[in-house]
Amino acid sequence: MYDLVITNIGQLLLPDQGPLKGGAMKQLAVEKQRALGIKDGRFAWIGSHEEGASLPAREKVDAEGKVVSPGLVDPHTHLVFGGSREGEMVLKQAGVPYLDILKQGGGILSTVKSTREETEAELFDKAKKHVRQMAAHGVTTLEAKSGYGLDRETEWKQLKVVKHLNEQGDIDIVSTFLGPHAIPLEYKGKSDAFLEEMIAMLPEIKKQNLAVFTDIFCETGVFTIEQSKHFMEASHQLGFQTKIHADEIDSLGGTELAAGLGAVSADHLVAASKQGIKQLAEGETTAVLLPGTTFYLGKDTYADARSMIDQGAAVALATDFNPGSCVTHNLQMIMSLAALKMKMTPEEIWNAVTVNASHAIGQKAGRIVKGKPADFVLWDVPNYQYIPYHYAANHAKMVWKNGRKVYERMDADVF
């Protein structure tokens, strides 16, 4: 007896094991008229619709010729934060550069102030709502960064919120310590001292298992290549895997640094150099691209996904959900931007939000495989190409995490 059987699947997407690099990203197994059997929270059987129709099950769902995919994976979010920054919209419309907003006490520093002021319970309740929104859009695994504390007390607070959210089990949440996300006002002109304070937190974070990864914002006016290397090497020595916000605005060489140190991912990469892209292709670091941020900031230049893939790199996509530069829960919208602005094919896009995104956060999600956790989505679309095509909508009809339904769109819902 199965707990659940999904029948009449028009297209079943079966991404290969990642990370998929270069030309391998163009390949996506799509099987028609299939069925799935789920038992004890795992995929227990995969077969034809005809076989599935005869299987005994406590519940059956007729997929009505639509699409079933693995649960989406969002490998770069800033999930836990206080306040909001809608007031900055006017500044952005006036063309004020982000780094200038930051100098005025806005940007990250505005969110830092709000996050410091809110209690752990308040941050938890707010983040939980964001998690539900992401799950409703098809995400079953995500990464969550700290970095809106910029002091010991608030960074701990953010990390504990992420841990408690993950323990609830609605979706899997992988924690990243991004203490060096900006330089707080109290450390203006003393960035080295602040960085050492963040490094001093690492042993206790490791001991309490509050983060799997560390991350640093390597950018003009924030942390230099040398400082980023120092932080990443200190993290490696303590057993952390590393990530880096690299070459988002200026081409500083963060992509090369990530590839040279074997970082799990290098994120943003809008200004990545040709040499940096070459090193990504030659190494094992995944490029996590965030076109929603470029779109929201009103920029014209997007990360060069086409060159990265064509030269042989592994590319993943993420929302960069945060209160200042990309305020969206909708990874489906990011898929559309990847097609429209970065010229990625539908097959590349699906691999980028499943297996490659999973690899970028050290997980084994993003696939439909017998014996593995049953994380999957029933999409109310006729084919897998439709989601990048029909942008800014939520096409998820039902979402399951570990075989448990975490979202179902009612017929009366607007979508």
Cα angle 192-195-197, degrees, rounded to a multiple of 5: 115
* Strands, sheet with 241-246, edge to edge from the N-terminal-most edge strand: 72-74, 139-145, 172-177, 213-214, 241-246, 265-268, 286-289, 315-317
- Res. 414: pLDDT tops 90: no
8 Å CB contact between 354 and 69: yes
pLDDT in tens, 370-399: 999 999 999 999 999 999 999 999 999 999
How remote is the C-alpha of 143 from its chain's centroid?
6
Length in residues, the chain: 415
Q: What is the pLDDT of residue 415?
A: 47
Our CA dihedral for 374, 380, 383, 387, rounded to 10 degrees, sits at: -90
Indicate the pLDDT class of residue 13, thresholds 50, 70 and 90: very high
pLDDT over threshold 70, residue 65: yes
Collapsing DSSP to helix, strand or coil, 104 comes out as coil
Strands (E) located in 184-234: 213-214
User: b/e for 213-250, b at 16 or more Cβ within 10 A?
Assistant: bbbbbbbebbbbeebbbbbbebbeeeebbbbbbbbbbe
How far is residue 259's CA from residue 283's CA, in Å, rounded to a whole number?
Answer: 6
Tokens describing residue 194:
């602040």
The per-residue pLDDT for range 290-321, each reduced to its tens digit, is: 999 999 988 999 999 999 999 999 999 999 99
CB contact at 8 A, 20 and 75: no
For the chain, give the mean pLDDT. 95
Distant-in-sequence contacts of 159-164, Cβ < 8 A, 24+ apart: 159/205, 159/210, 159/211, 160/120, 160/210, 161/80, 161/120, 161/123, 161/124, 161/127, 162/79, 162/80, 162/127, 162/210, 163/209, 163/210, 164/124
Confidence of residue 100 (pLDDT cuts 50, 70, 90): confident
Give the pLDDT band of residue 18 (cuts 50, 70, 90).
confident
pTM for this prediction: 0.96
Whether pLDDT at 328 is above 80 = yes
CA torsion 229-234-235-238 (nearest 10°) is 160
| Cα separation, 269 vs 291, whole angstroms | 10
Please count the other Cβ atoms lying within 10 Å of the Cβ belonging to residue 103. 12
* Burial annotation 300-325 (CB, 10 A radius, 16+ → b, else e): eebbbbeebbebbbbbbbbbbbbbbb
pLDDT of 413 > 60? The answer is no
* CA-CA-CA-CA dihedral for 383, 388, 389, 390, to nearest 10: 90
Residue-level pLDDT at 360? 98
Task: Give Cα separations from 401 to 63, 69, 122 (angstroms).
Answer: 17, 12, 25
Q: What is the pLDDT of residue 106?
A: 76
pLDDT tier at 157 (50, 70, 90 boundaries)? very high
What single DSSP character describes residue 177?
Answer: E
Instruction: Give the per-residue pLDDT at 313.
Output: 98
2 vs 143: CA distance, rounded Å: 31
Q: How confident is the model at residue 91 (pLDDT cuts 50, 70, 90)?
A: confident
Distance CA 312, CA 281 (A): 5
Backbone angles phi, psi at 152, to 5 degrees: -60, -50
Least confident range from 56-60, 98-102, 115-119, 136-140: namely 98-102
Tell me the mean pLDDT in the region 149-155. 97
What is the spatial distance between Cα 134 and Cα 328, in angstroms, rounded to a whole number?
Answer: 9
Average pLDDT over residues 326-344: 98
Count Cβ atoms below 10 Å from residue 32 Cβ, excluding itself. 11
Per residue in 202-232, pLDDT tens? 999 999 999 999 999 999 999 999 999 999 9
Q: 351: burial class by Cβ within 10 Å (0-12, 13-18, 19+)? A: buried
Q: What is the pLDDT of residues 233-268, one digit of tens each?
A: 999 999 999 999 999 999 999 999 999 999 999 999
